[in-house]
Structure 1
Amino acid sequence: MTAPRFVPDLLVIGAMRAGTTALRGLLDAHPEIGMAPATDPARVPVGPDLGWTVDRFPDAPVRGEAAPGCTDPARPEVAGWIAAAAPDVRLVMLVRDPLERALSHWRHQVRAGTEERPAPRALVDPRSPYVARSRYHEVLAPYRESVGEAQLLVVVLERLRADPAREVDRVLRHVGVDPSRGPAPRRTRMPAPAGPTLDAGTRAAFADAVGDDVAGLRSWLGDDLPEWV
């Protein structure tokens, strides 16, 4: 018998290679939050039922999942499915210096055996996901329209890495649980800076590819994002 359908209270929707696994662990440590087991970050819901069943989530006042595949730029319809299935869900989006995220993504694909091109060629290929998944403002547009901005919180990875207590406190308040009830957020493994391994030309080309999107994100957030050079 198939387990009954279930709607989570919290979704960490991305971005891939931006610290979703680390944030999932930090949230799961809170006594009022139960996070579903980690999933393949590339997994994308294939239909409006979204694959949520009650047996996937621990019993807790707030139950959630980290599912960065939900912000696959090739599948903007997922935002509408989530809005229809879980109209009250609280969403969290992690963002990271766009080039650092793309380079980490490329390295992940190389380790997985699915990318053979050198980084300078792969990262500026408009047909690859490296640029598209780093265009956060564009990726979030369907969620802003269908779920609503009030239910969406953006967390900057560089700030989570530098001060996890402060950033986790923001997420807990967004979700509606008492930050004082949980343990102090521990230092945990997070994606490390990718390092200056690219030539200036590649960096400039990538910056051109995401520059308008970064400007849009800064304007929408009212935040200069000074951590991003």
Structure 2
Amino acid sequence: MTSNLFLIAAPRSGSTQLSAWLGSHPDIGMPPIKEPNFFSQHEFPPAFVAETRLNDVIPERYVASRSKAEMQFAIFREPAQYDYLFEDLKTRWRLDASTTYLQCPEAPAAIAAHAPDARVILLTRDPVARALSHYRLAARIGQTTRSLREEIDAELRGETPLPGRFLLRPSRYDAALARYRQTFDDSRRLELTFEEMVADIEGTLARIAAFLGIPAAGFDQGLDRQNSGDAPRFRRLNVFLHRSGAKTVLRRLLPPSLKRRLKAVYFKPNTDSVDDGDTAYLRELLEVRA
């Protein structure tokens, strides 16, 4: 068994929440790693992955130990290791929710070759709102201490490696959507937006159920909010934990129940504001008018 359903979303467009709803359905199986990035692995040089501590697990060790620990993100490069994530799933649909597939030019054809019967769900968000959400996340986890404009300019100057460009590239959808429309016809492709989803959760899940040929009643809409944009209470400590790699180690070692309790203490609702001029600069670059 291997993947045959792909949630291909722009980062910060609600993919974690939607994948949780999808995984609650008895006809949809979720692998223990939400984003294995197998079909975009070539965009992640091993040295960059090691330096930035991107992997929540080390795939070789994870598979060798027969682990099924649930984690968010890792770069799986070997076909057998990727298929290991799905080997226990006996459901009709088996989900890969890697957000990196949207902008990766080679991903659509690779997915189609891997699973000729695959269905893809494309999820996007207002480009400016998405980029602002991603910037706040990067600041929250200690990935950046720069202003929004400084981060944008670093991307424009080419100082940021391709997989680290989280503001402009992930918010430019036209070419990405065109590739998936060319590869997957209407019967195998469903396009959604974050705004539609939050405005009508029940209707969105009904559309997905019809698209996949499964009962709409199977989704659990009562799941807790996933991957919210809360801010750390202790910003300097947060930056240290991220840059030292301690956060990655803790994610691997702590049980989910303890992580949930610690998050309630560690984070607070995000009230951070972004400079209006920086936001206007971002909007201009994305060619979006207010």
TM range (shorter): 0.7 to 0.9
Deviations 1:144-185 (A, max 9, x none): 2223354221221122223211111111211221213x1452
Aligned mates of 2:185, 2:81 — CA distance in 1: 22
Equivalent pairs counted in the alignment come to: 206
Aligned match for 2:30, one of 14, 35, 39: 35
Aligned mates of 2:136, 2:274 — CA distance in 1: 13
2:264 match: none
Q: Is the CA contact (8 Å cut-off) linking 1:45 and 1:70 kept in structure 2?
A: no
Moved more, 143-152 or 26-35: 143-152
Q: Is the CA contact (8 Å cut-off) linking 2:21 and 2:219 kept in structure 1?
A: no
1:98 match: 127
So what's the TM-score if we normalise by structure 1?
Answer: 0.75
SS at match of 1:129: coil
1:84 match: 113
Aligned match for 1:15, one of 10, 29, 38: 10
Percent of paired sites with the same residue: 28
Aligned mates of 1:210, 1:129 — CA distance in 2: 13
Residues 89 and 55 of structure 1: is their aligned pair in 2 closer, same or farther, counting only changes over 3 Å? same
Q: CA deviation at 1:50?
A: 9.2
Structure 1 counterpart of 2:195, one-letter code: E
5+ long unaligned stretches in structure 2:
43-76, 159-164, 231-269
Moved more, 103-112 or 39-48: 39-48
CA RMSD of aligned residues (A): 3.1
Aligned mates of 1:131, 1:159 — CA distance in 2: 22
By percentage of residues, which structure has more helix?
A: 2
1:207 correspondence with 2:283: yes
Aligned mates of 2:277, 2:200 — CA distance in 1: 33
Moved more, 103-112 or 26-35: 103-112
Q: Is the CA contact (8 Å cut-off) linking 1:41 and 1:69 kept in structure 2?
A: no
So what's the TM-score if we normalise by structure 2?
Answer: 0.61
Q: CA deviation at 1:31?
A: 1.6
5+ long unaligned stretches in structure 1:
1-5, 215-227
Moved more, 50-59 or 7-16: 50-59
Moved more, 186-195 or 106-115: 186-195
SS at match of 2:34: coil
Aligned mates of 1:81, 1:195 — CA distance in 2: 41
SS at match of 1:114: coil
Aligned mates of 2:188, 2:207 — CA distance in 1: 13
Residues 171 and 205 of structure 1: is their aligned pair in 2 closer, same or farther, counting only changes over 3 Å? same
Matches within 5 A, 1:128-143: 128-143=165-180
Residues 154 and 200 of structure 1: is their aligned pair in 2 closer, same or farther, counting only changes over 3 Å? same
Q: Is the CA contact (8 Å cut-off) linking 1:45 and 1:78 kept in structure 2?
A: no
Aligned mates of 2:223, 2:152 — CA distance in 1: 31
Structure 1 counterpart of 2:221, one-letter code: P
2:94 match: 63
Aligned match for 1:158, one of 171, 189, 195: 195
Q: Is the CA contact (8 Å cut-off) linking 1:168 and 1:185 kept in structure 2?
A: no
1:45 correspondence with 2:75: no
Q: CA deviation at 1:20?
A: 0.8
1:116 correspondence with 2:112: no
SS at match of 2:143: coil
Q: CA deviation at 1:41?
A: 7.5
1:3 match: none
Residues 18 and 173 of structure 1: is their aligned pair in 2 closer, same or farther, counting only changes over 3 Å? same
Deviations 1:89-116 (A, max 9, x none): 1111221221221122122223343323
